[in-house]
Amino acid sequence: MTTAYTPMIQQYLNIKENHKDSFLFFRLGDFYELFFDDAIQASQILEITLTSRDAREGDRIPMCGVPYHSAAGYIETLVQKGYKVAICEQTEDPRATKGIVRREVMRIVTPGTITEGKSIDTNTNHFIGAANIVDDTYYGLAYLDLSTGEGKVQYVEGDERTLISEIEALGMKEIVVDESLHIALSDSMANRNIALSIEHNEETVELSENIPGNVVEACSRLISYVKRTQKTSLDHIRPFEFIRKNAKLSIDANSMRNLELVQSIRTGTKEGTLYWLLDETVTAMGARKLKMWIHQPLADRKEIEKRLDIVTELLEEFFLSDDLKTSLKEVYDLERLAGRISMGSVNGRDLAQLRNSLRRVPEIKNALEHSGKPLLEEFATRINLCEDATALLEKSIAENPPITVKEGGVIKDGYDKKLDEYRDASRNGKQWLAELEQVEREKTGIKNLKIGYNRVFGYFIEITKSNIHLVDLERYERKQTLANAERYITSELKEKEDLILNAEADGLELEYDLFSHVREQLKPYIPEVQQLASVLSELDVLLSFAEVAEKRNYVKPVFHDSKALEIKNGRHPVVEKMMDHSLYVPNSCVLAEDANMLLITGPNMSGKSTYMRQVALTVVMAQIGCYVPCDSATLPVTDQIFTRIGAADDLASGQSTFMMEMMESQHAIVNATENSLLLFDEIGRGTSTYDGMSLAQAMMEYIHNEIGANTLFSTHYHELTTLDEQLSRLENVHVAAMEQDGKVVFLHKVMKGAADKSYGIYVADLAGLPASLLDRAKELLETFESADATVIQTVEPEQLAFFEEVSEEKQTITNEEKAILEDLNTKDVINMTPLQAMQYIVELQEKLRTEKR
């Protein structure tokens, strides 16, 4: 017969049964303990000692533990690695029970619901999402930042890859789904370090207006999961906002990465990105809003122009803008403070920060109201002073409270009469006793009367026996008799004794109750604090735009309702910031109604990719409401941006494969509309020359004939430059370069027409290849250029098999020569290193010479 586990271990197992997918942090006194497999795995991940304990007779089980006061760091480490942690607390006082202390899970920390810790970037939204299948081509996608209560929901049109791309673009840490979608997404999410969780229940949710019924499931499933795991009030979660597709400029995850909008490809950090360039915000909530605006630029012309007009007014009122920034610097993160109030994690210092922030609001509102600028005055009307919340905080919270609520000093003097008495007794007990002693001496006439204290009898009035006859026995009650004195107590002293002896403990307990009450009183004001946070964060971002525009000499873009795009002397904003402005070579871009496709040629390192990116970044900046880096810009409203940027000259990582290139291209071509912007860089170079050339031409023809979107297409295939004769809306441009003293000089200037040569050997020279190798390459180049070779003007599908066609010249080709040509046709020359290519050429040359002999 197997001996049963001890009651405590059995309690652990019963709780663990309901949290199989989580590490169970089981509170035992001053430690959180983990047992069985949890202990083995956690000890390895957290690098803590694995030990054991008795669980039943003759049986020890694995165990490890961490101190409760330092558990937050260990929990964060596990969550960062994609695990969940169930926090199991003691819910009754061990001193008040004779049996096993009652315990229950108070919260489950997951990758999407963690709100505090070193890994949480206060300037970035931390989203948890939920998805549901609407039909074969649509998904519903809801997402929520638990720390701020900001919830949104949208349609995602496309396949699973499109859904995952949107999830990645928003930086979600965890996705909640049903069983069927969990199966479909498991492998993809595991490769991306995004936690995938199942939720069976759906909760009734509050929604903003006009949310379609078939995306409500995602919202309901998400709220149900959050409520089940957090087990606390979620009053701060706002109604989900529905994001209409035609209201936002859609940028998929690949394009966000290629354009380096919020994260550098090389370093993975903010530096070197558009976000880095534009972030002159002074509040954490402003920085988050800026990042979200970059993620989701506007696609509504009126809304775009309104933002731009506010930036204009801020630029015109320089001193006002400076004053507003100064005031905003004193405003803390209102959104996250509201979230902490709701979830009960707010402390005294948080409430002081909230009060101090609200103190700055009247001066901000007043400055806008008296700006003399219509849009800024209108902006002021959206600012809620939150007067009731401010008044409550002003009278209740101390000026400089400690972080820990239970140490005292949080509640302001004068807020509660009883607390004031406790504090007075605790702070001034000795003074009060000295004063009472003096009063009693005067009343009794006993000059040597004294007040004393001992642990057995507490406070007492001691009177020598020679003075006992002066004691008023109606007021004095005998407490102890000594050899030469009597000790008494009065009702007043007895009352004060209780106050003095218990003042500190009772005061701390009362103060915590008062703090909790203040926190509860603040909950009804959470929505207006959140609304205020939204308005102030928007103001912060617009002030940031004005500052960047002033500092970098940007201009206000002009929008129109057609497709034409004209940017005069445009600049890549990030590259320009990272180099001397005076050295930057600006370039114009004109996409006319009847010529909206540019084929860009030119040598490597000449600036083709930078040119393409600067056009896209200009569009993004304009549609978030920011001035742009150029002399002037006339733009259409773009609905989507798709990029397929190669890795040769490097803003990308250099790790793309031909399959990835084709998948990204397919995604763009399938989803683009005539109002989209497409950027294709070096399409087809990941396969053989003729395959690549054919694919590139076919894509250009399809975009030109079937989609009609504004397109920039760069290539090294000079044969494609003749397509302007066949495609009416295609124009050739090239990035100029010139030879000088045997060296190539990149002019970084985009000019009309096709490039006349590639300058590949000159680029190899710049890269530092040996001189002898370069000399040999030049000899071979002259040989090839002078050879009687077939020139392909346009690439038609039937020409791909030209090596097998019979012509008058081909009848003289021997079988051996034909074999050499077929071998050449199958080689992936583009992906060879220079040395491999030269070695292969020498081998072919030797075969031909052998054949002629």
The conformation of residue 743, written as its DSSP 8-state character, comes to: E
Give long-range contacts, CB 8 A cutoff, 24+ apart: 24-30: 24/86, 24/88, 24/105, 25/66, 25/71, 25/75, 25/85, 25/86, 25/87, 25/88, 26/88, 26/103, 27/68, 27/87, 27/88, 27/89, 27/90, 27/103, 28/65, 29/94, 30/67, 30/68, 30/69
Binding residues: 602-609
- Taking only the tens place, the pLDDT of each residue in 100-122 is 899 999 999 999 999 888 878 88
Residues 493, 451: contact at Cβ < 8 Å? yes
Residue with tokens 């940028």: 251
Which residues contact residue 833 at a Cβ distance below 8 angstroms, ignoring those fewer than 6 apart? none
pLDDT higher than threshold 90 for residue 93: no
What is the C-alpha to C-alpha distance for residues 226 and 359, in angstroms, rounded to an integer? 33
Could you give the angle at which helices 658-671 and 689-702 cross, rounded to 10 degrees? 10
pLDDT at 791: 40
- Taking only the tens place, the pLDDT of each residue in 301-360 is 999 999 999 999 999 999 999 999 999 999 999 999 999 999 989 999 999 999 999 999
pLDDT higher than threshold 60 for residue 690: yes
What is the C-alpha to C-alpha distance for residues 9 and 63, in angstroms, rounded to an integer? 11
The dihedral built from the CA positions of residue 90, 92, 96 and 100, taken in this order, carries a sign that is negative
Residues 639, 676: contact at Cβ < 8 Å? yes
- Taking only the tens place, the pLDDT of each residue in 5-51 is 899 999 999 999 999 999 999 999 899 999 999 999 999 999 999 99
Q: What is the pTM of this model?
A: 0.81
Is 23 exposed, middle or buried, given 0-12, 13-18 or 19+ CB atoms closer than 10 A? Answer: buried
Tokens of 310: 């506010």
- Which is nearest to 446 in space by CA: 485, 491, 496, 495? 485
Structure-derived torsion over alpha carbons of residues 688, 690, 693, 695, reported in degrees to the nearest 10: -80
pLDDT higher than threshold 80 for residue 803: no
800 forms bridges with which residues in the sheet? Answer: none
Residues 154, 215: contact at Cβ < 8 Å? yes
What is the C-alpha to C-alpha distance for residues 509 and 527, in angstroms, rounded to an integer? 30
Report strand pairing: 632-636 vs 565-570: antiparallel
- Which is nearest to 154 in space by CA: 237, 244, 90? 244
What is the C-alpha to C-alpha distance for residues 346 and 351, in angstroms, rounded to an integer? 7
- Taking only the tens place, the pLDDT of each residue in 729-750 is 999 998 887 666 656 666 778 8
pLDDT at 97: 80
What is the C-alpha to C-alpha distance for residues 25 and 71, in angstroms, rounded to an integer? 9
User: Which domains, and CATH codes, for the chain?
Assistant: 7-109 (3.40.1170.10), 117-243 (3.30.420.110), 417-510 (1.10.1420.10), 553-766 (3.40.50.300), 784-852 (no CATH)
The conformation of residue 401, written as its DSSP 8-state character, comes to: -
Q: Where are the alpha helices (DSSP H) in 370-460?
A: 374-381, 387-396, 417-444
| 623 or 254, greater pLDDT | 623
Tokens of 739: 């030879």
Q: How far is CA 396 from CA 344, 411, 428, 491, 653, in A?
A: 17, 6, 22, 33, 55
What is the C-alpha to C-alpha distance for residues 760 and 606, in angstroms, rounded to an integer? 11
Residue with tokens 């003729």: 690
What is the C-alpha to C-alpha distance for residues 144 and 150, in angstroms, rounded to an integer? 6
End-to-end CA distance of the chain: 93
Q: Quickly count: other Cβ atoms within 10 Å of residue 510's Cβ.
A: 18
Give the chain's radius of gyration (CA, Å). Answer: 37
What is the C-alpha to C-alpha distance for residues 592 and 597, in angstroms, rounded to an integer? 9
- Taking only the tens place, the pLDDT of each residue in 394-424 is 999 999 999 888 888 999 999 999 999 888 8
pLDDT at 826: 67
- Which is nearest to 784 in space by CA: 844, 853, 850? 844
What is the C-alpha to C-alpha distance for residues 376 and 62, in angstroms, rounded to an integer? 65
Binding residues for ATP: 602-609
What is the C-alpha to C-alpha distance for residues 130 and 124, in angstroms, rounded to an integer? 19
The conformation of residue 507, written as its DSSP 8-state character, comes to: H
Residues 63, 83: contact at Cβ < 8 Å? no
Segment among 398-402, 531-535, 665-669 with least mean pLDDT: 665-669
What is the C-alpha to C-alpha distance for residues 567 and 590, in angstroms, rounded to an integer? 6
Tokens of 344: 């009960």
Over residues 186-214, the mean pLDDT reads 82
For 131, list phi and psi in degrees, rounded to 5: -130, 150
For 84, list phi and psi in degrees, rounded to 5: -110, 150
Report which listed range, 200-204, 417-421, 797-801, 819-823, is most confident: 417-421
- For 664-697, b/e burial (b = at least 16 CB within 10 A) is bbebbbebbeebbbbbbbbbbbbbbbbbbbbbbb
pLDDT higher than threshold 70 for residue 652: no
